[in-house]
Structure 1
Amino acid sequence: MKLYIKHMVSLRCKMVVKSELEKLGLTCVSVELGMVEIMEEVSNEQLEIFNQNLKKLGLELLDDKKNILVEKIKTLIIEMIHYSDEVPNVNDSDYISQKLNYDYTYLSNTFSEVKGITIQQYIILHKIEKVKELLIYDELTLTEIAHRLHYSSVAHLSNQFKKVTGLTPTYFKEVKENRNNNLEDL
């Protein structure tokens, strides 16, 4: 039996979900971002308890087909940007469409209807979060970050970063360094 879970976006979420299922005496076949497969059939009572426990942790079971599809899209984007070192050889829309086996227009319309933003806007927000993370860790140059996240140029990345955050990547990095210096002075 497969269960789809909203807001399940990290490895920690996977561990928490597995733990909650084990507390109910259920065996996980697999735990992925946004989805868990259970060996046994689950009673309505177990589902209710599981959902209540998930809500306490900021997660939630999904039962609506549109919401499940949107969570699959979100999970795919999060995995693509945050957890994969492999760069898709196709554009984002083709990649998402191929992975989920749906026409991109249908996916896009469903996502926009449920989330209130486009898939592309969601991708941009996650890319900018990844840029922030990479800037904070200070391991890659802006050119390397732009290449890694499929930006056509550093200028494109910088423009998008500023549009989303109000700061340039360079200024963002300076603020981080100044903050670290101030903490050292305490």
Structure 2
Amino acid sequence: MLKNEIEAQEIELQEIVLGRVQLDFKNEKQIDKLKVILQINGFELINSVEDKLTEQVKIQLIKILSNLPLDLNEKLSTHLSQKVHQDYSRLSKVFSSTEGVTVEKYFIKLKIEKVKELIQTQEENFTEISQLLGYSHINHLSRQFKVETGLSLSQYKAEQRKVRNPLDQIV
């Protein structure tokens, strides 16, 4: 959708991937048009180095959860450091200051949203879900889920109204 709207404004689109668009602008008017397109579609330009770094971390965390079962062969901090090409202490400090939450806490929130999604598909039971997401025991998942949502896994599953948060609005 974004690609079509950008191209309709005759802005040269060089690349579009999750969280990043590379464009070639001919003039300042095109930048203004892009800002309007982004705003209408719920996006924004990221200008500061800190915001860009935070966005890169978010993208990497979402990518981790897009391939289940979760298969991190190293610590999350090591993985992020390698993918974003930054020292983890800097990543962590910048992320916490821009988002108001640690990288680890944010990742837990993402995992809980993934759990909600998996519960709704009803293809796996709670034990299988906990294994897919790398929990050592279902009790660990159950505790985190209860802390984050205020509901037990069973209560959430039994609810008619399935409340999920868009990944780009998790904080």
Instruction: Give yes or no for TM over 0.5.
Output: yes
Q: Report matched runs for 1:88-103 at 5 Å.
A: 88-103=72-87
What 5-or-longer segments of structure 2 have no aligned partner? 163-171
Question: In 2, distance between residues paired with 1:171 and 1:69?
Answer: 37
Asked if residue 115 in structure 1 is aligned to residue 129 in structure 2, the reply is: no
* 1:125 partner amino acid: K
Q: Report matched runs for 1:109-148 at 5 Å.
A: 109-148=93-132
Q: CA offset at residue 42 of structure 1?
A: 4.4
What 5-or-longer segments of structure 1 have no aligned partner? 1-15, 181-186
The corresponding residue for 1:26 is: 11
Question: In 2, distance between residues paired with 1:42 and 1:51?
Answer: 15
**TM-score with structure 1 setting the length:** 0.80
The corresponding residue for 2:145 is: 161
Q: What RMSD in Å do the two structures reach over aligned CA positions?
A: 1.7
The corresponding residue for 2:41 is: 57
Matched position secondary structure for 1:62 = coil
Count of matched residue pairs: 161
Asked if residue 171 in structure 1 is aligned to residue 167 in structure 2, the reply is: no
- The C-alpha deviation readout for 1:119-169, integer Å capped at 9, x for no partner, is 111101110010011011110111111111111110000000000001111
Q: CA offset at residue 106 of structure 1?
A: 0.4
Percent of matched pairs sharing the same residue: 35
**TM-score with structure 2 setting the length:** 0.87
Question: In 2, distance between residues paired with 1:88 and 1:23?
Answer: 41
The corresponding residue for 1:11 is: none
Matched position secondary structure for 2:45 = strand
- The C-alpha deviation readout for 1:72-111, integer Å capped at 9, x for no partner, is 1111111211x22362211211111110011111000000
The corresponding residue for 2:165 is: none
Runs (4 or more) in structure 1 with deviation over 4 Å come to none
The corresponding residue for 2:52 is: 68
* 1:59 partner amino acid: F
Matched position secondary structure for 1:60 = coil
Question: In 1, distance between residues paired with 2:50 and 2:157?
Answer: 39
Asked if residue 17 in structure 1 is aligned to residue 2 in structure 2, the reply is: yes
